[in-house]
Amino acid sequence: MSFKLKIFLFILLISHFGALSVIAQEDIMPDLEDIIEEIASASDVELDYSTLFSTLEDLYNYPLDLNSATREDLDALIFLTEFQIYSIMNYRKKFGDYKTIYELQFVDGIDMQTLKWLVPFVTVNKDSGKQKTSLKNAFMYGKHDIITRYQRLLQEKAGYAIPDSVIEANPDKSRYLGSPDKIYVKYGYQYKNKLSFGVTAEKDDGEQFFRGAQKYGFDFYSAHFQINDLGVIKKIIVGDYLAQFGQGLTMWSGLTFGKTTNVANIIKKPRGVNKYTSVNESAFLRGQAMTLEFGQFSFTEFISYKGIDGSIESTNDTINGEADYITGFLESGYHRTPSEVEKRKSIKEFITGGNLTWTGSILRLGLTGLYYNYSSPFSGNDKPYTYFNFTGNSNFNIGFDYLLTIKKINFFGETSISQNLGYATVNGAVIDFVPEFKMSVLHRYYRHDYQALYAQPFSEGNRPNNESGIFVGAEIYPVKKWKIDVYIDSWKYPWLRYGVNGPSAGIEYVAQISYFTQRDLDMYARIKYETKKKNNSDVESGITPLISYATTKIRYHINYNATTNWKFKNRIEISNYSLEDNNQWGYLIYQDIQYKPHKLPLTFTVRAAVFETESYDDRIYAYEPDVLYGFSIPAYYGKGTRLVFVLKYDVFKNLDLWFRIANTYYHNQDGLGSGLDAIKGKNRTDIKLQLRFKF
């Protein structure tokens, strides 16, 4: 163990034991970032959480009225379980209107952690249900929000360093055509939950700006206009939007969550159609959508037409003559090189569909239909694992979903078919036996020939086909302030997959024990063990056998507030990657410190981290401090240290400034990355500067 690591561990342990002796002076409500981080902590991939953050911020600014909120309204609070939503509404039905938000502590199923998160997002209006909003007021008395962000990597990548003489000799040579600056601009207008419109624009690093392929400035533009609650019209949207129905087996665009330690949240919370404000350039629909409500029935229709990035190849055969075929999508959203620019919006996608939902007191039934058509057909290839992939120009999916609540049991599921009559089904139950113990079980069976391009159901392989499995989890409160979460997930892949030339199986075990108070301290310890199979890369010819490999991750995390203006977070995580007799180990240790002076409009956040892994296979992911709407969940691998500094300065009441700088120093490397992303030296440094104006 190096001297620097020993010093770092000593400081961390001193601060940790100091935290355990802190006596809280007052309750501290969680920040929105804390909720996002809790959700993200169970993920091993970097996802775009800006849409979720935007939803929670809207609810923070315009809290839900407990006396008029619908099930759909409460579904927007992603941390609430279906049983908790049912209990909130059933309490109102049984005892009449809420008199205060603190009645929630008497609602069945609302634990102290949920109550702590829920309070900032709800309110009680005495004249609930009597308020009416005119369109004139909606356009005059809402809130404007403008965000501009500049981002850049300080080191030069190889893609920017190609000499002009080389480019003159070969204009199509792969290189970055634009500057290394990344620019983001967002304008939004919001009036309660009635009216919303806005525009978002982004230029990625390496993309051109007001020249070349981006003559109109930014590479990506997104806009929306949404009105809610116009009589029978529940929602009407023009522009960019998301569509989410059922359990994600037929239609689900945008962000979704997989397995988490909150075992009750295996039930997806569809929001129907809703505005899109993020900058992911492929995970949305563009066109028009509307939801109508007639008593217990709601009907949603949507139409979308947009260009998407992809690879197209021309073929010439004696039967069809010359034809263009789609060989794959490009989902990165980057248009930096000549080849990436060539693939930009090369495919035209048309989507239309609808959903009919009936909602009763204990039962919700839904029927979703979806049709999509592409400007060129998808081609097949000679790879065995792609044998059942979708080919042709068009496809459709039809799915039926349900959610049934009987006392303390939630039954849920969805079954869907595709045009080729391939089918898939997912079904499960969450049981709240007593407030101190709940269980969940989920079974999925996705046939190898089920074809759905916009499906994101519960799965291990992130695809809605070629998988069957069962998930069983439990949540236990053994004593006050302690919680235990455990789950087992076992699955099989009946057909081949990329990198797996045969049927395979896997299993995952997760256990977490948490300690939390209502005030200043929470911590947890987690262990995750997972086994899978892949091709044996040592066999160069003949039939490739499969070999098993396992990953183990052990984490200890603690959050604590020493005073009202000092907050600390510590994490120690160990990873192991085991392949036959080869064991690779890694670790990550970090310390976060946040300081907010009482008399100054400043917030300082610092992270110091040390990490070491033997390869990318035993990498470790961790959510990082960032500017508002900027989310970073990088993979730590190699050997190095990382420092992150974030400053927020409230210039005026309605104007705030954010600055972030993050540096990673790799001890055992003299060059980072490869190809056009290659960087000379041991350092990688990113900066962000953001300005937000609200009025």
Q: Name the residue with higher pLDDT: 675 or 133.
A: 675
Question: Is a pLDDT exceeding 50 seen at residue 141?
Answer: yes
Contact 191, 141 (CB under 8 A): yes
**Residue 530 Cα distances to 101, 140, 509, 562, 658, angstroms:** 42, 55, 6, 36, 39
Residue with tokens 């070491």: 612
Domain count, the chain: 1
Closest CA to 679 of 180, 225, 55, 118: 180
Q: Which tokens go with 356?
A: 């009919």
The whole domain housing 110 covers: 65-123
pLDDT digits (tens, 9 = 90+) for 63-118: 889 998 888 888 888 888 888 888 898 888 888 889 888 888 888 888 777 888 88
Query: What is the model's pLDDT at position 544?
Result: 79
Reported as a single tens digit per residue, the pLDDT across 351-360 is 999 999 999 9
Render pLDDT for 8-33 as a digit per residue (tens, 0 to 9).
Answer: 444 444 444 444 333 333 333 346 77
d(CA 488, CA 510): 7
Mean pLDDT of 252-262: 80
Pick the range with the lowest mean pLDDT from 253-267, 404-418, 515-529: 253-267
Residue 453, classified by CB atoms within 10 Å of its CB into exposed (0-12), middle (13-18) or buried (19+), is: middle
Most confident segment among 262-266, 534-538, 651-655, 688-692: 688-692
Q: What pLDDT, on the 0 to 100 scale, is given for residue 670?
A: 87
3 state SS of 520: coil
In a domain? residue 281: no
The confidence score (pLDDT) of residue 27 equals 35
Q: Write out pLDDT tens, residues 662-693.
A: 999 999 888 888 899 999 999 999 999 999 99
Count CB atoms within 10 A of the CB of residue 452.
29
> What is the C-alpha to C-alpha distance for residues 293 and 234, in angstroms, rounded to an integer?
6
Q: Which residue has the higher pLDDT, 201 or 330?
A: 201
Q: What percent of the chain has pLDDT over 90?
A: 55
Strands (E), 29-142: 64-65, 122-123
- What is the chain's mean pLDDT, rounded? 87
Q: Can you state the percent helix, strand and coil of the chain, rounding each to 5?
A: 15, 50, 35
User: For residue 321, is pLDDT > 50?
Assistant: yes
Answer yes or no: is 118 within a domain.
yes
At residue 536 the predicted structure's pLDDT band, cuts being 50, 70 and 90, is confident
**pLDDT by residue (tens digit) across 188-227?**
999 988 999 999 999 999 999 999 888 999 999 999 999 9
Q: Which residue from 694, 637, 640, 630 is spatially nearest to 660, judged by alpha carbons?
A: 630
pLDDT of residue 2: 53
Selection from 99, 149, 147 nearest residue 124 by Cα: 99
Q: Is 116 domain-assigned?
A: yes
Q: Is residue 72 part of a domain?
A: yes
Residues ≥6 apart with Cβ < 8 Å to 56: 32, 35, 36, 77, 78, 121
How does pLDDT run across 515-534, given as a tens digit for each residue?
987 678 889 999 999 999 99
Distance in angstroms (rounded) separating the CA atoms of residues 346 and 467: 31
Q: How far is residue 543's CA from residue 536's CA, in Å, rounded to a whole number?
A: 10
Rounded-to-integer distance, Cα 569 and Cα 623, Å: 12
Angstrom CA distances, 558 to 77, 354, 555, 567, 633, stand at 24, 45, 10, 11, 18
Does residue 99 lie in a domain region? yes
**What pLDDT, on a 0 to 100 scale, did the predictor assign at position 56?**
82
- For the chain, the C-alpha Rg in angstroms (whole number) is 26
Q: Is residue 231 part of a domain?
A: no
Backbone angles phi, psi at 53, to 5 degrees: -60, -40
Mean pLDDT of 144-149: 95
Residue 594 has pLDDT above 50, yes or no: yes
Distance CA 505, CA 385 (A): 16
Which residues are CB-contacts of 397 (< 8 A; sequence separation ≥ 6)? Answer: 250, 251, 368, 369, 370, 416, 417, 418, 419, 452, 455
In a domain? residue 376: no
Residue 295 lies in a domain: no
Token pair for 206? 């390496």
Look up tokens 């800006």; give the residue: 50
Residue matched to tokens 């455990």:
486
Q: Are 161 and 678 in contact (CB under 8 A)?
A: no
Q: Which CATH number belongs to the domain containing residue 100 in this structure?
A: 1.10.150
